[in-house]
Amino acid sequence: MPRAFSALTFTPAVRAHQERMGSAATYAKFIESGPQQGHQIGPAEEAFIQGRDGFYQASVSETGWPYVQFRGGPAGFLKVLDPQTIGYADLSGNKQYISRGNLDGNDRVALILMDYANQRRLKILGRMTFTEGVEAAADVITEGAEAGAERAAIIKVEALDWNCPRHITPRFTEAELRPHLNTLGQQLAVLQTENQRLQRELDELRAAGA
């Protein structure tokens, strides 16, 4: 776990619970003084982020309750704009504007990006700002995305962390399955052709015996 992430998440209450559960010593190295790490997007993170077709985004309401939404689109709709900035086109939805309203009062967001097929996940903490209007969103619209962008959602990354892959159940999209399905389809076609050939030979033998 990088220092930037632990600095934001290992609060006194969290540290106290780690002490009670016996894991404080294990995590002490992540909060000790040293070079800042885990606050910038590297090549591995950039490739992972821009390969996703969806992510979970949490904001915090004025009542103190977290609100989690799923954001989806064509792969690459979440764009890396620089080593500390990501953004996406905020599309028109059901007009509840819960996340949008929450972020007016508290600009903090937490994102979880999942790669179920390869059992990987990336957590991102950041602060979100908006640039209103379709023209502003043009810079972050991905080709093939649905129409109706209302604004550009820009997130300044404050910390990120590759999370433990344990307990991630592998799931596959149609695109991820397609190469394997194509191979199975080709194998099935070969077997069907061979089966038809054998059936013809069997029919010929039966006819000759009659």
- We report the CATH number of the domain holding residue 99 as 2.30.110.10
Claim to verify: residue 48 and residue 135 sit in the same structural domain: yes
H helix or E strand, kind and range, residue 137: helix 134-137
Claim to verify: residue 155 and residue 210 sit in the same structural domain: no
The domain in which residue 76 lies consists of 38-162
What is the pLDDT, as a whole number, of residue 34?
Answer: 53
What is the pLDDT, as a whole number, of residue 150?
Answer: 80
DSSP 23-86: -HHHHGGGTSSS---SSS--HHHHHHHHT-SEEEEEEE-TTS-EEEEEEE-STT-SEEEETTEE
Check if the beta carbon of residue 4 is closer than 8 Å to that of residue 39.
yes
Assess if residue 196 is contained within a domain. yes
Q: What is the DSSP letter of 139?
A: G
Check if the beta carbon of residue 158 is closer than 8 Å to that of residue 108.
no
Assess if residue 52 is contained within a domain. yes
Claim to verify: residue 42 and residue 25 sit in the same structural domain: no
Assess if residue 167 is contained within a domain. no
Q: In which residue ranges of the chain is pLDDT below 50?
A: none
Query: CA dist 25 to 9, 28, 70, 130, Å?
Result: 16, 5, 35, 40
For 17, phi then psi, to 5°, come to -70, -35
Q: Total structural domains in the chain?
A: 3
What is the pLDDT, as a whole number, of residue 163?
Answer: 86
Q: Is the pTM of this model over 0.85?
A: no
